Amino acid sequence: MTSKDQQNSHQLPEKIIFDTDAGVDDAHALLMLDGCSPRRIQLLAVTCVAGNVKLPQVLKNISHIFGHCSFTKVPIYGGAGRPLISKLPPGYELYHGRDGLGNTTTAMKIAQASSLDTSINAVQALINLVQQHPKEVNVCAVGPLTNLALAERLWPDFSRNLKSVCIMGGNMYGEGNVTPSAEFNFYCDPEAAHIVLHDFKCEKILITWELCKLYQLPQENYEELFRINTVKADFLSRISQQAVKVHKESLQVCDQLAAACACYPEIITKATKYPCKVSLCGETRGQVIIDRVNFWTDFPPESQTTIVEELDVILEGRRVIFIMCGIFFCCSVIFSGPFGLLYGKSSVVSIFLYASFYQG
Ligand SMILES: [Ca+2]
């Protein structure tokens, strides 16, 4: 990035680590980060964790995704192969496919990404990178939080030296998607989620399951996106076919929102900080418990979590595409055609994805 670019973007790119379990929405999110790089973000590393699929398949999937983006030199690290205490639950195969990417990789021999670094574990890589860039690193965490919890336990100053962590996981009204009360990422490793929500001392932004349900991508939008004639659009279309078979009327958007908020936190228009914990027992295991009425008087204020309640995806989304595509406002007519104001809450995702596709 030239100094002129930096001047134009009014700020240095944010340093981001993408912590992932490599499902379909993780792939969308990673390509969105690609669309924001290098102008808005600098991706320091991809750290992998077992979740949607087992760890070897996560690494295979990330290698596959890297074949469709420009992050070829970004190091990939393998992390926790299972949750801290519980057994990894079955992934949502019906949606993500047996391989996590819509059954598109099962029969394929995928070349290992050249940037896969097996010399250290993802947990150590997280610690090293935060030590190299204290208070500058933002983690976008879109899988179970096992790697982050282990990093905090290995180095107790880990979270204190993070800039922020933007998490897709948990819930704000107790609604679940794998049990009546638990969302998948938090249900995979409730103890790890509890450590992050209770102990982490950096800014924590939580993109909950209920928020994601508000911003699904309607069928007419995702079909339009998948028809765009680029390598990225073709890839995302192929890996998403299994998912849209299950929910034909809309494409579920989860990890994409975490990536959007990590790159453009200004799209968050309504959010409240609360003391949060995670239920570790019984039928509510994995559910986020939010203290909205100040029962936990000893809860440290620096450990509170920001629960995102609304996103202004329309205006900011339009601005985002101008920044990412490097075009002037007068071109907005061209780009806001099918993805403009009329599409309401889903526009940001359309626009982010569109920008990713547009770049190629
Ligand atoms: Ca994920």
pLDDT tens readout for residues 78-137: 999 999 999 999 877 778 888 999 999 888 888 899 999 999 999 999 999 999 999 999
Please give the distance, rounded to the nearest whole angstrom, from the Cα atom of residue 28 to the centre of ligand 1: 10
Question: What integer pLDDT is reported at residue 3 of this predicted model?
Answer: 47
pLDDT tens readout for residues 279-338: 999 999 999 999 999 999 999 999 999 999 998 765 444 444 444 433 333 233 333 333
Please give the distance, rounded to the nearest whole angstrom, from the Cα atom of residue 24 to the centre of ligand 1: 8
pLDDT tens readout for residues 234-247: 898 999 999 888 88
For residue 186, CA distances in Å to 72, 77, 123, 278 come to 30, 21, 18, 8
Please give the distance, rounded to the nearest whole angstrom, from the Cα atom of residue 18 to the centre of ligand 1: 10
Please determine, for residue 9, whether its predicted confidence score (pLDDT) is greater than 80.
Answer: no
Please give the distance, rounded to the nearest whole angstrom, from the Cα atom of residue 299 to the centre of ligand 1: 29
Are the CB atoms for 305 and 197 separated by under 8 Å?
Answer: yes
Question: What integer pLDDT is reported at residue 96 of this predicted model?
Answer: 85
Token reading at 344: 């309401």
Please give the distance, rounded to the nearest whole angstrom, from the Cα atom of residue 50 to the centre of ligand 1: 10
Compute φ and ψ for 260, nearest 5 degrees: -60, -45
- Strand segments, DSSP code E, in 137-201 are 137-141, 164-168
For 167, the 3-state DSSP assignment is strand
Please give the distance, rounded to the nearest whole angstrom, from the Cα atom of residue 255 to the centre of ligand 1: 6
Share of the chain above pLDDT 90, in %: 61
Please determine, for residue 219, whether its predicted confidence score (pLDDT) is greater than 60.
Answer: yes
Longest Cα separation, the chain: 56
Please determine, for residue 228, whether its predicted confidence score (pLDDT) is greater than 70.
Answer: yes
Please give the distance, rounded to the nearest whole angstrom, from the Cα atom of residue 174 to the centre of ligand 1: 20
Query: Residues 6 or more apart from 170 whose CB is under 8 A from it?
Result: 183, 185, 186, 193, 197, 206, 208, 209, 276, 278, 286, 287, 288
Please give the distance, rounded to the nearest whole angstrom, from the Cα atom of residue 16 to the centre of ligand 1: 16
Compute φ and ψ for 319, nearest 5 degrees: -65, -40
For residue 95, CA distances in Å to 46, 118, 230, 305 come to 23, 30, 24, 29
| Between residues 220 and 288, the one the model is more confident about | 288
DSSP classification of residue 200: -
Token reading at 169: 């996981």
Question: What integer pLDDT is reported at residue 315 of this predicted model?
Answer: 42
Please determine, for residue 59, whether its predicted confidence score (pLDDT) is greater than 50.
Answer: yes
Question: What integer pLDDT is reported at residue 250 of this predicted model?
Answer: 85
Please give the distance, rounded to the nearest whole angstrom, from the Cα atom of residue 65 to the centre of ligand 1: 14
- Write down the mean pLDDT value for the chain: 85
User: Scanning the structure block, which residue is given the tokens 């905090």?
Assistant: 152
**Residues involved in catalysis:** 21
Share of the chain above pLDDT 70, in %: 84
Token reading at 223: 């079909």
pLDDT band at 10 (very low <50, low <70, confident <90, very high): low
Query: Which DSSP string corresponds to 247-277?
Result: STTEE--SHHHHHHHHH-GGGEEEEEEE-EE
Identify the weakest region by mean pLDDT among 1-5, 61-65, 128-132, 223-227.
1-5
Q: What share of the chain is helix, strand, coil (3-state, %, to 5)?
A: 45, 15, 40
Interior CA angle at 27 toward 26 and 31, to 5°? Answer: 115
Return the closest-CA partner of residue 266 out of 315, 303, 304. Answer: 315
How many Å apart are CA 151 and CA 324, to the nearest integer?
33
Identify the weakest region by mean pLDDT among 125-129, 224-228, 260-264.
224-228
